[in-house]
Amino acid sequence: METILILDFGGQYNQLIARRVRECSVYCEVKPYSTPLEELRAIKPVGIIFTGGPDSVYLDSAPHVDPDIFTWGVPILGICYGCQHMAYSLGGQVTPAQDDSAREYGKTLTRYDTGCRLFKGLPEEGVSWMSHGDYMAKVPEGFALTARSDACPNVAIADENRGFYGVQFHPEVNHTQHGVDMIRNFLFEVCHAKGDWTMGDYKNAAISHLREKVGSGRVLLALSGGVDSSVAAALLAEAVGAQLTCVFVDHGLMRLNEGDEVEEAFAKWDLNFVRVDAERRFLDKLAGVEEPECKRKIIGEEFIRVFEEEAKKVGAVDFLAQGTIYPDVIESGAGDAAVIKSHHNVGGLPDYVDFKEIVEPLRMLFKDEVRQLGRELGLPEYLVSRQPFPGPGLAIRIIGDITKERADILRQADFIFREEMARYGEDRNVNQYFAVLTNSRSVGVMGDGRTYDYTLALRAVTTSDFMTADWARLPYELLDKVSTRIVNEVKGINRIVYDITSKPPATIEWE
Ligand code: XMP
């Protein structure tokens, strides 16, 4: 497979580089810079990218790659630290920037030599995203300067004969205008990649990798029915189906038909699918509990208990599989942010299960890539394009006491809302939408009679990262239709309100 090798020097945008390359339909692999050269050679890359990194090349502790890499005859693009490393290794000089003005951080107006293959077809000027405190005081022999900024005359270097390019800025981040075009130029103009890699190829590679890793071992996976764990399950099912046990804990707070849909989606694979009907158990524990954090804690703990019991029945397993995706990897490194809500994810269970190793087959993928992989594996569209659904499920969308009756009311109302959102095509414009059953009751009139029923709130938001969100401007016609249908079709609701608060100050979920 035509491969670009990304050598990781510890920079913060490394996975983003991989993503950009794959967006150009070129397969890539990220390897630590210290990987032995023979191992890298075996990959037969058509090009190599050195990533950025936090170090300074002239320090003793700085990471260095085997210098023989420069005599391979494979084109190299060095980004930030990678650029300085290449310059330094080939006889250039890199020093701390003399004065503050040569240290560049953030958006910087940059002028490019468009005669250079890396910048071919680009405007001569654009903003680039810099983040470097070191300076290439002398560039190595054979290299030309190909971009400059006001503070720095050598923002980019190139030795076109050997196919070596270096940029001090980060072409992979969105802040760099035409950054993706530069990466594309490296791939197609310099490395002559064909760009015919597809998610189907990725699937096949991942399957053979999983088979190799798992061998004849047994794998256990907690399946939530969300996109990530479903795609991870499908991939493992395809790779080592008979050795895989998926435990799907139905806590009775799923959306309408959800449990059956998940079970149905996996019927085509030969795997051990355990569906635990734990509705009664969860509802008993939750009876009379109104405080949101309490609800979350009870569900989190009970979930672990149920999962643990099921895992015991399965016996010792070799691998615990998790649907961790790349944004989870970034977020888990996010540090000490204040706890606004104790999120319960089906992920972090290792302490409770007897296993030897973790497998995370989606660790390298972004959400949209995970969805694409799911389609490739033949999962149904309703599962693959599913919006996020919180681990505690409807429990945090039922304000006040949780009973089966109230859960059923919410399930029906939520189903109608989702049905109409899809009918109006708004499900594609909005990132998350759902109904909330409030604990407020009000007087209404239906037929000739008085009602005293619950108020239901509709929530729909647009967001890119779910950290902040704006309420969605849904068409009145749609809201009207949903309101009419719910009040007519769902017994127990006589009033509908639409939530028009953004996050912050509100959160997306109500609890
Ligand atoms: P909030 O309500 O904090 O939600 O604005 C942000 C996003 O996180 C989802 N969410 C959860 N997801 N376990 C999850 O897996 C949870 O406990 C949980 N609580 C909130 C929420 O649906 C939204 O997408």
pLDDT at 16 over 90: no
- Is 408 among the domain residues? yes
Q: Which pLDDT value is given to residue 473?
A: 98
Query: Are 252 and 213 within one domain?
Result: yes
Mean pLDDT of 494-501: 98
% of residues, the chain, pLDDT over 70 = 94
Q: What is the pLDDT of residues 158-200, one digit of tens each?
A: 999 999 999 999 999 888 999 999 999 999 999 999 999 989 9
Residue 148 inside a domain? The answer is yes
List, for residues 111-160, the tens digit of each pLDDT value.
Answer: 999 999 999 999 999 999 887 778 888 999 999 999 999 888 889 999 99
Q: Diameter of the chain by CA atoms?
A: 92
- How does residue 29 score in pLDDT terms, banded at 50, 70 and 90? confident
Alpha carbon of 509 to ligand 1 centroid (Å) = 7
Structure confidence at residue 333 as a pLDDT band (50, 70, 90) = very low
Among 508, 510, 511, the mutation site with the greatest number of ligand 1 atoms within 8 A of its Cβ is: 508
100 with 49, same domain?
yes
In a domain, 438, yes or no: yes
Task: State the residue for tokens 């239901």.
Answer: 456
Question: Does any domain span residue 506?
Answer: no
Q: How many separate domains does the chain show?
A: 3
Which helix (H) or strand (E) element contains residue 106? strand 104-112
Region of 433 on the Ramachandran plot (φ > 0 left; ψ -120 to 50 alpha; else beta): beta
Q: What is the CATH number of the domain that holds 81?
A: 3.40.50.880
pTM confidence score: 0.76
pLDDT at position 354 over 90? no
Same domain, 153 and 281: no
Selected residue with higher pLDDT from 117 and 106: 117
| 503, part of any domain | no
Q: Are residues 221 and 348 in the same domain?
A: yes
- Does residue 509 belong to any structural domain of this protein? no
Tell whether 204 and 350 lie within a shared domain.
yes
Active site residues: 80, 170, 172
Residue 505 lies in a domain: no
The pLDDT tens digits for 423-448 are 999 999 999 999 999 999 999 999 88
Residue 504 located in a structural domain: no
Q: Could you say which of 384, 408, 436 is where a domain stops?
A: 384
The CA distance from 147 to 167, in Å, is: 8
| Ligand 1 within 6 A of CB of 171 | no
What does the radius of gyration of the chain's CA atoms come to, in whole angstroms?
27
Average pLDDT, whole number, for the chain? 91
Are 11 and 59 found together in one domain? yes
Neighbouring C-beta atoms of residue 162, cutoff 10 Å: 16
Instruction: Decide: 508 in ligand 1 pocket, CB within 6 A.
Output: yes
Residue 341 confidence (pLDDT): 58
Residue with tokens 């992989």: 373
Nearest atom, ligand 1, residue 346 CA: 15
- Residues with Cβ within 8 Å of 176's Cβ and at least 6 positions away in sequence, in order, are 126, 127, 128, 129, 169, 170, 182
* 273/330 same-domain check: yes
Residue position matching structure tokens 């059923």: 408
Final residue before a domain boundary, out of 190, 207, 226:
190
Q: Which residues pair with 432 in a beta bridge?
A: 461
Residues 304 and 430 in one domain: no
CB 267: neighbour CB atoms within 10 A? 8
393 lines ligand 1 (CB under 6 A): no
Domain co-membership, 168 together with 94: yes
> What's 462's DSSP letter?
E
Shortest-distance Cα residue to atom 10 of ligand 1: 390
Q: What is the CATH number of the domain that holds 460?
A: 3.30.300.10
Q: Are strands 319-321 and 272-277 parallel, antiparallel or unpaired?
A: unpaired
**Segment holding 312, helix H or strand E:** helix 292-314
Specify the pLDDT at position 443. Answer: 97
Task: Kindly state whether residues 432 and 375 are assigned to the same domain.
Answer: no
Torsion angle of alpha carbons 369, 374, 376, 380, nearest 10°?
-140
Same domain, 262 and 184: no
Beta-ladder partners of 132: 104
Domain of 146 in residue numbering reads as 3-190
Please give the Cα distance from 352 to 51 (Å, whole number): 37
Model confidence band, residue 12 (pLDDT cutoffs 50, 70, 90): confident
498 ligand 1 Cβ < 6 A: no
Nearest to 131, CA basis, from 79, 207, 209: 79
Highest mean pLDDT pick, 98-112, 142-156, 227-241:
227-241
Cβ–ligand 1 contact at 392 (below 6 Å): yes
The sign of the torsion formed by the CA atoms of 323, 327, 331, 333 equals: positive
Q: How far apart are CA 76 and CA 56, in angstroms?
A: 19
Residue 450: its H or E element: strand 449-462
* Residue where a domain terminates, one of 190, 224, 241: 190
Contact, 479 vs 430, CB < 8 A? no
Residue partners of 469: CB distance under 8 A and separation at least 6:
431, 432, 461, 462, 463, 502, 503, 508
Q: Are residues 157 and 89 in the same domain?
A: yes
Q: In percent, how much of the chain has pLDDT > 90?
A: 76
The CATH number of the domain holding residue 206 is 3.40.50.620
Q: How many A from CA of 343 to the centre of ligand 1?
A: 6
**For residue 336, what pLDDT is reported?**
41
Q: Where are the alpha helices (DSSP H) in 145-186?
A: 179-184
Q: Is 226 in the pocket of ligand 1 (CB under 6 A)?
A: no
Question: Bigger pLDDT: 19 or 231?
Answer: 231
Q: Does the pLDDT value for residue 343 go beyond 60?
A: no
432 CA: nearest ligand 1 atom: 24
